[in-house]
Chain A
Amino acid sequence: MHASHSHLTLAPEGRGVSRLLSRLSQTRPRGVTLAAGVVLTLIISVALFAPWLANHDPLALSPADRLKPMGSEFWLGTDPYGRDLYSRIVYGARVSLTVGLGVAVTSVAIGLPLGLLAGYFRTLDAVLMRIMDGLMAIPGILLAIAIVSLTSASLWTVMIAIMVPEIPQVVRLVRSRVLATREEAFVEAAILMGTSTPRLLWRHLMPSTLAPLIVQGTYICASAILTEAILSFLGAGIGTETPSWGNIMSEGRVYFQLKPSLIFWAGLLLSACILSINLLGDSARDALDPKMKRRMS
């Protein structure tokens, strides 16, 4: 007891600089969240309005214009095949965001019911969670490469390949929430009032999983975008006929020393996109977690 007091006295006692520092570490500045939101909105609008923003056909080969520098004709220069880099990056945003959002939504949509069932029915839990353990034992990237090489590399197969290893994460999260919530007295009260099991799962157990799911969803979104880029970079992703940030960087790798901008712009956008999604996820976590709310108020 005394020992714990000594730790408390070492901690800032609420005066001067130390107090300011402890406040800063407790509260995330609103500006950061706002900036992340603005960056993400910009990237989303770029993807949405790609046909109007692009000033060249992103697929048009033009050997005469290969490796042009930045200029008024080609804003960010051209790649080794003479395709306009700017237009390719603009269209690449579509692939990245589609993969990110698609994977996040579908993995939550599949993982949520599985998690609810696993958390509530103990016999199903034993079977289902061993399957999930098996899935988690396989490295995600390897599984994705295997799936893509077994099938043809389209947007759909890439999304499924990225989604499969994410599902166990969602199932485990939902299951753990259900395991905790099912012990609550209000769930027992509902059982005693004759509430049917499907209704119990939907009305009483599902809502408590939503807040952590939103947070997990943003992280899945960010990691899916990154995984897609990695797959494309490794050549196991979407073919180069569909520009994505990953395959733009992959193609630029050969001429990287000659022309760093081939990798730089796509990489910058990828980093900004993932960083802002993660920051928004953190803010969502803080806002939805009642404990954090109490500390921040």
Chain B
Amino acid sequence: MMTDAPILEVEELVVETSGRKPSRILDAISFTINAGETLCLVGESGSGKSVTSLATMGLLPPGALVAQSGCIRLAGEDVLTATPAKLLSLRGRHMAMIFQEPMTALNPVLSVGRQLDEVLCQHTSQTGPQRRARVLEVFEQVHLPDVERIYASYPHQLSGGQRQRIMIAMALLLKPQLLIADEPTTALDVTTQHQILALIKQLQREHGTAVLFITHDMGVVVDIADRVCVMHHGQLVESGPVDQVLGSPQEAYTQRLLAAVPSLLPRPPREATSNKTVLEVQSLEKVFNANQGVLRWLRKPVTPTRAVDDVSFVLKRGRTLGVVGESGSGKSTLARCVMRLITPTGGNIRVSGKQITELPKSMLKPHRKRIQMIFQDPNRSLNPRMTVGQSLIEGPTNYGTSRREALARGRELLELVGLPVDAIDRYPHQFSGGQRQRIAIARALAMEPEVIVADEAVSALDVSVQAQVLTLLHEIQLRLGIAVLFITHDLRVAAQICDDVLVMQRGRLIEYGPAAQVLGQPEAEYTRQLMEAAPGRGWDFAAGAPVKPRFSPVEAH
């Protein structure tokens, strides 16, 4: 139900930081959204997409960001010059926003029903029973089960997907004309994300709401957008209908962005380079038992959590094994057991044939060297108070290498990971996220390990940086023959980097085999569900066209 009159018009919007030396955050952004249409703002971190949404809501942080010129017209009213009272009614009646993390957007000490009731109380003159009926009605609309129970629940009693549904219900309560969704599914699992996207689409169809959808995920764009605006460094690089922008991108930046999206089709299998088993895990088990300690007989018995339950795999030299699964599937616990950061409760771990499961922490030191880890967030895995050089030489000097030798090796490693040699005297905060992850990789390599465990090592990175880091890992693996245990929730990344894939659900091994087989022709029902839910699975980014029904192998990178 498209109409001609645009709901939201943004014209030549310029936002700058306030201060003596203002820097430009948004540089003359213009776009419009019509009723019943979804416009996706897509870009990497720092591109200004969230600032655009905040400016539209009239929520620019006072004293930090200032809209210098341009206008934002919503229902004929300029948001930038509206009085606070006018803005308040605009926010209720005409626009509403869904945030990325529903847990922080909801008040933890009020039941969700009361929080929605408050919205109606603020903006309408309905009586108590009327308001309650309306809230329950909206809960039904967003497909929440058992609405009466949900009404009285507190946010922590609900799952992540349910909380995001509550946020959507809250946004829809006053039937706004414009819904702003700022990365609403980024914090959710892929199957939940799939459901939420479908819900937003359905509600939009039914109510004719215009949606401004902000995301960094090209797959999500394919699934939800009618039109796309690509943003880069505060500028609008390219905009147009989704098929056009994704199918035949005109600008170099858009082309690069699209080329960096990994394909869901597994890459062609690699030849095995060596027969040497470097990591072997047999029926590994980790049970978290809440009933421990001296006072355990005083407490209510709690059923133990089986975080990892009977998982076995073999990793050979020079190969990459991907462990995929949703949050809570036990993949990180598996990694921490293999690293012996936590002690498994059963099963065997052999690193280069040596059993390390039963060793006490004090005897682990000789084995630590063989297996190193790369963490998810490079901002937190490097000590902010130590120079890059100090971080790089810490491991080798612990094992008796002299300082000078370790530093010389550190310089070589920095070159290997594509950083300038003078980086050695700088501190982590002087580098970007991608560069920091390169430093973390160099630090792991400094130990000359046989196995690297990468726990969501590229998940915190922008898609173009992610592609670079993956290429780097690939090159290092070819050159040094290191085996990689790659933990990820992202099936696209798994498809492009892994030789073998292990799918986990609730601590259990669901499917394990060569990547082409597990991701190409999944046997287990759960793996199929995961593949179905992967955002943008209907679009082939490399070819710039919808995926053909019969898949043909596509060359990676």
Q: Which residues of A contact B386 (CB under 8 A)?
A: 203
Of A22, A195, A204, A297, which contacts B398 at CB under 8 A?
Answer: A195
Of B97, B341, B382, which contacts A1 at CB under 8 A?
Answer: B97
How far apart sit A88 and B49, CA to CA, in the bound complex (Å)? 67
Q: Which residues of B contact A196 (CB under 8 A)?
A: 398
Interface contact A22-B399, CB-CB below 8 Å: no
Interface contact B63-A14, CB-CB below 8 Å: yes
Q: Nearest Cβ in chain A — how far from B445, in angstroms?
A: 12
Q: Is A73 interfacial (CB 8 A cutoff)?
A: no
Interface contact A19-B63, CB-CB below 8 Å: yes
Interface contact B119-A2, CB-CB below 8 Å: yes
B117-147 toward A: CB 8 Å interface, digit per residue (1/0)? Answer: 0110011000000000000000000000000
Interface contact B85-A9, CB-CB below 8 Å: yes
Residues of B within 8 A of A (CB-CB), count:
49
Q: Which residues of B contact A23 (CB under 8 A)?
A: 63
Interface contact A185-B123, CB-CB below 8 Å: no
How far apart sit A5 and B377, CA to CA, in the bound complex (Å)? 32
Interface contact A3-B382, CB-CB below 8 Å: no
Interface contact A19-B62, CB-CB below 8 Å: yes
User: Among A13, A22, A23, which residue has the most Cβ atoms of chain B within 10 A?
Assistant: A13
Interface contact B398-A6, CB-CB below 8 Å: no
Interface contact B383-A194, CB-CB below 8 Å: no
How far apart sit A22 and B62, CA to CA, in the bound complex (Å)? 10
How far apart sit A220 and B54, CA to CA, in the bound complex (Å)? 43
Q: Is A188 interfacial (CB 8 A cutoff)?
A: yes
B381-409 toward A: CB 8 Å interface, digit per residue (1/0)? Answer: 11111100000001100110000000000
Q: Nearest Cβ in chain B — how far from A12, in angstroms?
A: 7
Contact residues, B350-404 vs A (CB, 8 A): 365, 368-369, 372-373, 375-377, 380-386, 394-395, 398-399
Q: Is A268 interfacial (CB 8 A cutoff)?
A: no
Q: Is B92 interfacial (CB 8 A cutoff)?
A: yes
Interface contact A185-B375, CB-CB below 8 Å: yes
Interface contact A193-B447, CB-CB below 8 Å: yes
Q: Is B339 interfacial (CB 8 A cutoff)?
A: yes
Interface contact A189-B398, CB-CB below 8 Å: no
Q: Which residues of B contact A186 (CB under 8 A)?
A: 380-384
Interface contact A9-B395, CB-CB below 8 Å: no
Known: A194-B368, A207-B385. A8 touches B59 (CB 8 A): yes
Q: How many A-B residue pairs have CB under 8 A?
A: 99
Known: A1-B170, A6-B88. A189 touches B443 (CB 8 A): yes
Interface contact B62-A189, CB-CB below 8 Å: no
Q: Is A64 interfacial (CB 8 A cutoff)?
A: no
Interface contact A195-B97, CB-CB below 8 Å: no
User: Among A1, A5, A184, which residue has the most Cβ atoms of chain B within 10 A?
Assistant: A1
Interface contact A185-B377, CB-CB below 8 Å: yes
How far apart sit A14 and B19, CA to CA, in the bound complex (Å)? 13
How far apart sit A212 and B92, CA to CA, in the bound complex (Å)? 43
Known: A2-B96, A185-B380, A189-B373. A194 touches B398 (CB 8 A): yes
Of B88, B385, B440, B447, which contacts A9 at CB under 8 A?
Answer: B88
Q: Which residues of A contact B383 (CB under 8 A)?
A: 186, 190, 203-204
Q: Is B115 interfacial (CB 8 A cutoff)?
A: yes
How far apart sit A22 and B382, CA to CA, in the bound complex (Å)? 36
Q: Which residues of B contact A150 (CB under 8 A)?
A: none
Interface contact A193-B394, CB-CB below 8 Å: yes
Q: Which residues of A contact B375 (CB under 8 A)?
A: 185, 188-189
Q: Is A10 interfacial (CB 8 A cutoff)?
A: yes
Q: Nearest Cβ in chain B — how far from A271, in angstroms?
A: 34
Interface contact A192-B373, CB-CB below 8 Å: yes
Q: Is B91 interfacial (CB 8 A cutoff)?
A: yes
Q: Is A287 interfacial (CB 8 A cutoff)?
A: no
Per CB-CB distance, the 9 closest pairs between chain A and chain B, nearest first, are: A193-B395, A14-B62, A185-B381, A185-B375, A9-B84, A2-B119, A194-B398, A186-B383, A185-B380
12 A-B pairs in the complex with CB atoms less than 8 angstroms apart = A1-B115, A2-B119, A5-B91, A9-B87, A185-B380, A189-B381, A192-B373, A193-B372, A193-B394, A193-B395, A194-B398, A203-B386
Not counting A6-B88, A195-B394, a sample of 17 additional A-B residue pairs whose C-beta atoms are within 8 angstroms of each other reads A1-B97, A1-B119, A1-B171, A2-B174, A5-B59, A14-B66, A185-B377, A185-B381, A189-B373, A189-B382, A189-B440, A190-B394, A192-B341, A193-B447, A194-B395, A194-B398, A204-B383
Q: Which residues of A are at the interface with B, using a C-beta cutoff of 8 A?
A: 1-3, 5-6, 8-14, 19, 22-23, 26, 184-186, 188-196, 203-204, 207-208, 297
